[in-house]
Structures are given as structure tokens and as C-alpha cells.
Structure 1
């Protein structure tokens, strides 16, 4: 007698896994795929790009464009992706070198995604902003 095991794929998890794959590949379109016009994207208070941005254009202009202008080699290394159904959590490390000071930075980070049908309702970042600020000052 054989027992069949069915593994259901969570489209929310798959969408965020693809987002991080896009980040690794420096593919902005792939990164923005789960972000809709109503997605609220929050960068932590104290972070240089702190605030809430709504929609992909605001996220690109307010976060990714600025990071690209200010940092060399800025990356997010994903270590663990937690499938919580409609809540997906990415755990990892930011690193990069701030151009104006030449100082490197490494900071642990957690991203919390609230999802619906494979699209981001919200994104919230938690990181050690002091470590990021130290590289900038």
C-alpha cells in the first residue's frame, strides 16, 4: 500500500521567492512583480530611506534608485524564507559600501510581507539602522 503525499505550493511564498531571485539577478522587473499600485512598502524608521511608499514607482524611486546611487555592492543575502501562508518572512543580511565615506556596512534584516493571491498587500523592513548609519557618517 502506498501513501501519496501532495505538497501544495503557496503562491504567496513562490511570489516572494521569485522577488528575491530577481534581487540576486539585479532584475528590477522580477523584483517588482508582486508589488501592486496599492502595496504599502515600509522602510524602518531610522533607515536612510525610511517611510512608506505606495506602488512600484514610489518604491523604485524612494528606495531602489536611491540605494543604487548611494551604495556600491549593496546586496540583501537571503538566508531563510518562512512560509506563513499569507505572511511571508525573509531573513538575511544587508551589505554594501557607502560611496561618500567608503565605509562598508553589514546589518541583519527581516522583511515581513503580507500577501493576498500572490501579490503584496504590504512589506515591512526591520533592520539595525545604527549599523547602516555608521557607514554613512
Structure 2
């Protein structure tokens, strides 16, 4: 059985390839995906379909060239922590953003069970306003 670290590493590799199926492959059917309050798609989404619609589609509708760049991935046993940057250009304002972010992932039973994002929502809001 693959570790949480390995599943998250593979998720980020799929993200780099723009491979949605690969990004979703290790999510548990009842994954709880939480985007930080103050972020454009703030809230907790349960299940892959909710994550795709509530997060990925929403961000794609608001931003051009939305990218997460992983700087470090830390193995914390059943958890993994990804540290990096979001970059994008807001479609409405044309303003670019480059925002630090931390993702905290939790896994068990060979599946990703939870995700939580921590980021500088003020910088995101500045790009949107």
C-alpha cells in the first residue's frame, strides 16, 4: 500500500501534467477537501466531483494560467505537507498573483482522506479587486 507521501507526490506530478484523472486517482470517495476562508472557493467539499466543480472549475473560471508550484513535500507519516506557490492572472482585473501556500494532506487505507489549504487570502483578493 502506498504511503500518503507517495499519493500526494503523484497528485502533484499529475497536476504538473494537467492530468485531472491522475490528480483524483487516490482521493477517497468521501474525501474532505477544505479551501481556506477568504479564498474564492472557500469551504469544505466532500467527494471528488464536489472538489472538481467547487474548486478546479471555479478557479479556472476566475483565473488564467492558474498554477501550483511545489517547493517542498514533507512526509509526516499519515500526513503529508506540500509547500509552494500559486500563480495566476485574474480574468476580470488582469492582475497577476504569486501567493505562498501550504497544503496539509491526510491519508489512510491507501487513499487520501482529507486536504486543507492555508494561503495568503489578502494577496488573492488584491489580484481580484
Band of TM-score, shorter chain: over 0.9
Partner of 2:61: 69
Give the aligned CA root-mean-square deviation in angstroms.
Answer: 1.2
Normalised TM-score (structure 2): 0.96
1:19 aligned to 11, 14, 19, which one?
11
Larger radius of gyration: 1
Pairing 1:38–2:63 present = no
SS at match of 1:124: strand
**Structure ranking higher on relative contact order (CA contacts 8 Å, 6+ apart):** 2
1:77-105 CA distances to partner (integer Å, 9 max, x unpaired)?
Answer: 00000001101000000000000100000
Consecutive unaligned residues in structure 1, runs of 5 or more:
1-8
> Which residue in 2 is equivalent to 1:47?
39
2:107 matches 1:115: yes
Q: CA deviation at 1:128?
A: 0.2
Q: Which runs of 5+ in 2 are unaligned?
A: none
TM-score, structure 1 as length reference: 0.91
2:29/2:47 contact within 8 Å kept: yes
Task: Find the aligned partners of 1:128 and 1:114 in 2 and give their Cα distance.
Answer: 22
Alpha-carbon displacement from aligned partner over 1:94-136 (angstroms, at most 9, x marks no partner)? 0000001000001000000011033111100000000001000
- The correspondence of residues 92-107 of structure 1 with structure 2, limited to 5 A, is 92-107=84-99
